[in-house]
């Protein structure tokens, strides 16, 4: 399967080496072994990729929407035919269990299908202005060449979530995948070429020299759109660079998701939701529940039951049967998880299970449950990005909402309650862009994904997702009846009027 993965850069429809012939290794985090060496793009390569996107811009923008839609639909169909290949590749380069990788293929594919359907629904409006002196026409057109920077944790879905709406809208793109997991994006790009994407419409430049490649691309006035998924600090830097040429930007940044369990919650449902919200992707997701806020009346029962489930989780390479927890992406991720756990324990938290790196090859951390986590602990403030579940208690709804909102982030929240009125209050009171109410998974291609505060701006998915790649143009034309009398005097006569 690895032999079928392109190892070059995709520029103007051609797979090619880096300009300076540089390469870098992609490593399996479960074993530490090298999977492949691939081309390491230079700033010169980034410039050539943008040149190609600019040259293809007009042709793709004027391609009929139905044709753009059919290309995306063919890509969806091809992905379904090759879903096992893509799932295995993601497990090898990122480490997630194979069952979860299959789930990502299904989820990521839906963006291709959804936006193939949205491509033919780009509309506009026509109407009389309030004064009656003219006609207001509103149209939408592609924003222009886009630079898409994707993260390592969902290498297929984050690529399709950006590429599909851009292509549906008529934009050409340069994609810079994360250096830790570029193989899936390269294989996806090859699939898009097979599906009929013209040369120059999709260009891919994996690199270990991210800043050196990205800065000149972002500062080039021909680029008109920047989309980034990653950390808030990097997002701030990119926003500052994008301000120079006033780029349209979409930023899906860090999270610190609260998970609220009220005294009236269905605990069976809450336990399943907690496992999905925390341990999906080994906790390496911006949507992962970070702070578990549990009502004091049910906290002991919740902690006991969740600890039993977590302690029984099988840790191992994602290709092994029954594995629930794969490796973290690298040594730095293991060190961060252990530092956060150690800080919490030093401040008085209680360790229920786990709490240590796993010996042996690969970068594994034992799935962990902590209770009695004290205010001020680092893991209540920092995004954990690992299999660590931290519980603290609350007494009142107001206290729970205040604790949930006590963060600079606002991507997603989760809440479990059987009270419909409370659920509606939480929809209005929680400062998040998304809410899972009695569910631990919220992502869907048909829904707008994104956050508030320092979790970013813009939305991906849904009708809002394609709007991020469209400019709105308003045209005013004179009243077409001017000089021909009023609409009333020029209207056709009625049958009764004609008889008279």
What's the pLDDT tens digit per position in 129-141?
999 999 999 999 9
| pTM confidence score | 0.95
Longest dimension (CA), the chain: 100
pLDDT of residue 496: 39
pLDDT of residue 366: 98
Backbone φ, ψ for residue 39 (5° rounding): -60, 140
User: How far is residue 369 from each of residues 292, 324, 447, measured CA to CA in Å?
Assistant: 10, 15, 31
Active site residues: 252, 286
Looking up tokens 């530490």 gives 32
**Rg of the chain in Å (alpha carbons):** 26
Find out whether 50 and 67 touch, Cβ atoms under 8 Å.
no
Quote the crossing angle between the two packed helices 83-94 and 65-81, to the nearest 10°.
70
Q: Identify any residues that bridge with 229 across adjacent strands, giving them in sequence order.
A: 252
In this prediction, residue 360 carries a pLDDT of 87
Q: Which residues of the chain have pLDDT under 70?
A: 485-500
How far apart CA 92 and CA 183 sit, in angstroms, is 10
Q: Strand pairing partners for 126?
A: 137
What does the pLDDT read at residue 498?
Answer: 38
- List all residues 6 or more positions away from 1 whose beta carbon is below 8 Å from its beta carbon: 85, 88, 89
Q: What does the pLDDT look like over 85-102, one tens digit per residue?
A: 999 999 999 999 999 999
Query: Residue 302 contacts by C-beta under 8 Å, 6 or more apart in sequence?
Result: 261, 267, 270, 271, 294, 391
pLDDT at res. 341: 98
- Asked if residues 105 and 156 have their Cβ atoms less than 8 Å apart, the reply is yes
Give CA–CA dist 98/429, Å, rounded. Answer: 38
End-to-end CA distance of the chain: 84
CB-side neighbour CA atoms (13 Å) of 385 = 22
């Amino acid at each position: 399967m690895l032999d079928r993965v392109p190892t070059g850069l995709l520029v103007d429809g051609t797979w090619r080496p880096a300009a300076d012939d540089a390469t870098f290794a992609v490593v399996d985090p479960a074993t530490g072994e090298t999977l492949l060496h691939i081309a390491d793009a230079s700033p010169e390569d980034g410039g050539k990729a943008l040149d190609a996107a600019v040259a293809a811009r007009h042709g793709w923008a004027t391609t009929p929407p139905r044709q753009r839609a059919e290309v995306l639909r063919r890509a969806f169909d091809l992905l379904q035919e090759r879903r096992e290949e893509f799932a295995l590749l993601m497990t090898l380069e990122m480490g997630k269990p194979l069952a979860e990788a299959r789930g990502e293929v299904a989820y990521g594919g839906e963006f291709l299908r959804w936006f193939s359907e949205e491509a033919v629904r780009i509309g506009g409006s026509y109407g009389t202005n309030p004064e009656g002196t003219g006609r207001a026409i509103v149209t939408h057109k592609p924003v222009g060449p886009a630079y898409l920077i994707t993260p390592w944790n969902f290498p297929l879905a984050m690529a399709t979530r950006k590429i599909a709406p851009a292509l549906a809208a008529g934009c050409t793109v340069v994609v810079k995948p994360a250096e830790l997991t570029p193989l899936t994006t390269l294989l996806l790009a090859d699939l898009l070429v097979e599906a009929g994407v013209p040369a120059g419409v999709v260009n891919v430049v994996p690199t270990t020299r991210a800043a050196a490649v990205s800065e000149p691309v972002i500062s080039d006035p021909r680029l008109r759109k920047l989309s980034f998924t990653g950390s808030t600090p990097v997002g701030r830097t990119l926003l500052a660079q994008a301000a120079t040429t006033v780029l349209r930007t979409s930023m899906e940044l860090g999270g610190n998701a609260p998970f609220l369990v009220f005294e009236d919650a269905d605990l069976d449902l809450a336990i399943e939701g907690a496992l999905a919200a925390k341990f999906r992707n080994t906790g390496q997701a911006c949507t992962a529940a970070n702070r578990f806020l549990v009502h004091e009346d049910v906290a002991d029962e919740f902690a006991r039951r969740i600890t039993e489930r977590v302690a029984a989780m099988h840790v191992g390479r994602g290709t092994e049967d029954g594995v629930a927890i794969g490796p973290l992406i690298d040594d730095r991720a293991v060190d961060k998880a252990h530092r956060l756990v150690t800080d919490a324990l030093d401040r008085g938290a209680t360790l229920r299970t786990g709490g240590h790196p796993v010996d042996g090859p690969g970068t594994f951390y034992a799935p962990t449950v902590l209770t009695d986590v004290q205010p001020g602990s680092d893991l209540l403030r920092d995004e954990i990005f690992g299999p660590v579940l931290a519980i603290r208690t609350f007494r009142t709804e107001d206290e729970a909402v205040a604790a949930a909102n006590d963060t600079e982030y606002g991507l997603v929240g989760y809440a479990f309650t059987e009270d419909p009125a409370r659920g509606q209050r939480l929809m209005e009171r929680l400062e998040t862009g998304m809410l899972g109410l009695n569910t631990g998974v919220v992502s869907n291609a048909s829904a707008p994904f994104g956050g508030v505060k320092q979790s970013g701006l813009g939305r991906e998915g849904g009708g809002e997702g394609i709007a991020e790649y469209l400019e709105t143009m308003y045209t005013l034309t004179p009243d077409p009846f001017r000089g021909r009398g009023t609409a009333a005097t020029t209207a056709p006569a009625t049958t009764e009027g004609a008889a008279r």
